[in-house]
Every structure is written in structure tokens, then in C-alpha cells.
Amino acid sequence: MTLITSNLGPAILFGVVGLSVPFLLLSYVHHFLWGNQPANWPRKLPGPRSIWEGFYALVVMVLSFLVCTVLLSFHGFSRDYHPTDIEVKWLTAIWFVTAAYLYQVEYIIRRSLDPKLNIAAIPSTNKPLKPQLFHPQTNTSIQLPPTLSVVNIGKPNDSIPPDIDVSDLPNSETVSRIHAKIWVQGDIYFIEDVVSANGTFLNGTKLKPKNRYQLNLGDRINLGKEDLVTFILQAKKDNTRSNLSGAVSSKKTSHS
């Protein structure tokens, strides 16, 4: 009994460290590859999605290992048992198949819980959804240039010409010439404040300059303090094609 008690502490510590290290490693890998933390989340820390992916990856590895262990138990193995090459190949294949099924289960559950992933619930349409910035102060919308991966927001300057020029909007004096950027990565959008004079705010939270924050439909972006120059990210069905050449000019659409 004394021997078991004396070995219990180190065993628990070894187990905690053995599980924590891969969990943290997987969370940070997901964070650096697909980091999409909320606007007020510390930039260097994995967001909730990355933490979940790290945790579930660890669960998948452990459960897949247990499945292989159970299968080996039917073989009647002992400490001196050494699997053959073909058995190792079969166990490896079973490990990967088990992991794939566990990830499929996780995806199905997450899809049923997250409306954004439930594609079947979205009515089919031939009209593509194109993101746009709605400007409530003038009741107009500005389409995001579809051919750019980085959209610069600001006013005319000799350094980085703006793809979205806000100089004609009311209260544009609060906006810096090089104010913010919107990064496009597939269907995911990020916003970054480019060390503007009056700052960029996402849903009321001031953004840390030179850091990217993921955007979602309905998010409210303020260029400068207060609601002087505001944009709301929306999606609009659009059948028309806009020809953009040279420095991209923003296409504005009035809302009646």
C-alpha cells in the first residue's frame, strides 16, 4: 500500500504533463495556422476554437489508441508479445480509420449546433453571396473588391492608395489616410488597424494595431471614435459583374 501511494503522485504528474503537452501543442498549431480568436482575445493565445480543436485532437488520439488496445487484447498478447509487420500495418490503418470516424462525428455534431455550418438549412440559389460594407450614416453599401486578398481602407495618399476611399463620406476627417485593412482568406475575412490616429473599433472594442481580427456578418466597424464613420459587414446577392481596373474604386449602392 505504501509503494502504491508513493508512486501515485509521480504517476498523476506524469499523466497530467503527458496530456497537457500535446493538448497545448495542437492548440497552438491550430491557432497559428487558422487562428480566428474573438476581437477582444489576446493575439498570442489560442482562441476558443483552437482550444477545442486541440482538446478534441487529444481525445481522438487517446480513443483511437484504446480501440487498438482492445483489439490487441482479443489476440491474447502479453508483455513478451511482438506484433508482426502485417499486424502493425493493420493496427495503423485501424487507428487512422477510427480517428477519421471520430472527426466525422465531431463535424456532424458541430454542424447541427452551428447554423453557419448547417449548409443544408440555407435555401439553394444560383445567386452568389458577396460581402459588402453597409454605411448607416449615408444608407449606402460599398462592395468589397472581389479580386483582392487585401483591401486597404483610407483616403488618397502617395504611399498606399485606398481600395475603399472614404474621403467623400461624412466625418471622414476622423479617418487616417492609411487607416485599416481587410484581409480575405477564402470565405473568411479579417480586419486590421494600421496604426491609425483615432483607432479602429470592432463591435465597440478598440483593436490593437497590426493585429488581425476575424469578421462575421453583422459585425460593426467604426473608423475612429464614436459612430462617425461606421460600416456593417453584410452579404448581398448580386448577379451583376463589376469591372475593376487599376486602383480599385468602391462600388456604392444606394438603399431606398
Asked whether residue 39 falls in the same domain as residue 107, the answer is: yes
pLDDT in tens, 116-132: 444 344 344 444 456 88
The 140-143 sheet, strands edge to edge: 205-206, 200-202, 220-223, 230-237, 129-135, 140-143, 252-254
What is the C-alpha separation between 236 and 141, in angstroms, rounded? 10
Inside any domain, residue 203: yes
Please check whether residue 65 lies inside any domain of the structure.
yes
- Per residue in 218-227, pLDDT tens? 899 999 887 8
Cα–Cα distance measured from residue 52 to residue 41, given in angstroms and rounded to the nearest whole number? 15
- List Cα–Cα distances, 149 to 10, 92, 181, 187, in angstroms: 51, 40, 10, 11
Q: Say if residue 84 is in the same domain as residue 22.
A: yes
In SS3 terms, 41-76 reads as CCCCCCCHHHHHHHHHHHHHHHHHHHHHHHHHHCCC
Is the same domain home to 103 and 176?
no
Q: What is the pLDDT of residue 110?
A: 66
Q: Of 56, 87, 119, which residue is a domain's last? A: 119
Residue 183 has a pLDDT of: 92
Q: What is the pLDDT of residue 45?
A: 81
Answer yes or no: do 112 and 58 share one domain. yes
Asked if residue 244 belongs to a domain, the reply is no
Q: Are residues 112 and 200 in the same domain?
A: no
Give residue for cell 486578398. Answer: 149
Q: Which H/E stretch holds residue 19? A: helix 2-34
* Domain end among 119, 138, 172: 119
Q: Could you tell me if 137 and 205 lie in one domain?
A: yes
Q: Are residues 82 and 164 in the same domain?
A: no
C-alpha cell, 61: 488520439
How far is CA 154 from its chain centroid?
25
Q: Is residue 151 part of a domain?
A: yes
- For residue 10, is it within any domain? no
pLDDT at 155: 93
Same domain, 164 and 69: no
Domain count within the chain: 2
Question: Can you spell out the DSSP letters for 71-128?
Answer: HHHTTT--TT----HHHHHHHHHHHHHHHHHHHHHHHHHHHHH-TTT-GGGSPP-SSP
pLDDT per residue over 20-41, tens digit each?
887 888 888 877 776 656 656 6
Same domain, yes or no: 139 and 106: no
So what's the pLDDT on residue 196?
Answer: 93
Is residue 2 a part of any domain in this protein? no
Q: What is the CATH number of the domain that holds 204?
A: 2.60.200.20
Query: How far is the CA of 23 from the CAs of 19, 60, 230, 245, in angstroms?
Result: 6, 11, 40, 47
Do 115 and 133 lie in a common domain? no
DSSP secondary-structure letter at 203?
T
Classify residue 8: in a domain, yes or no.
no
22 domain residue, yes or no: yes
Cβ–Cβ under 8 Å, residues 184 and 146: no
Question: In the numeric block, which cell numbers belong to residue 112?
Answer: 447541427
Q: Based on the domain organization, do 147 and 205 belong to the same domain?
A: yes
For 42, the domain range is 16-119
Can you give the pLDDT of all 256 residues of the chain as single tens digits?
A: 444 455 666 767 766 767 788 788 888 887 777 665 665 667 678 878 788 888 888 888 888 888 877 877 766 555 566 667 787 788 788 888 888 888 788 777 766 665 444 434 434 444 445 688 999 989 988 888 878 889 999 999 988 899 999 999 999 999 999 999 999 888 889 999 999 999 999 988 889 999 999 998 889 999 988 789 999 998 865 543 333 333 334 444 444 4
Residue 100 makes CB contacts below 8 A (sequence gap 6+) with: none
Supply the pTM of this predicted model: 0.46
111 and 71 within one domain: yes
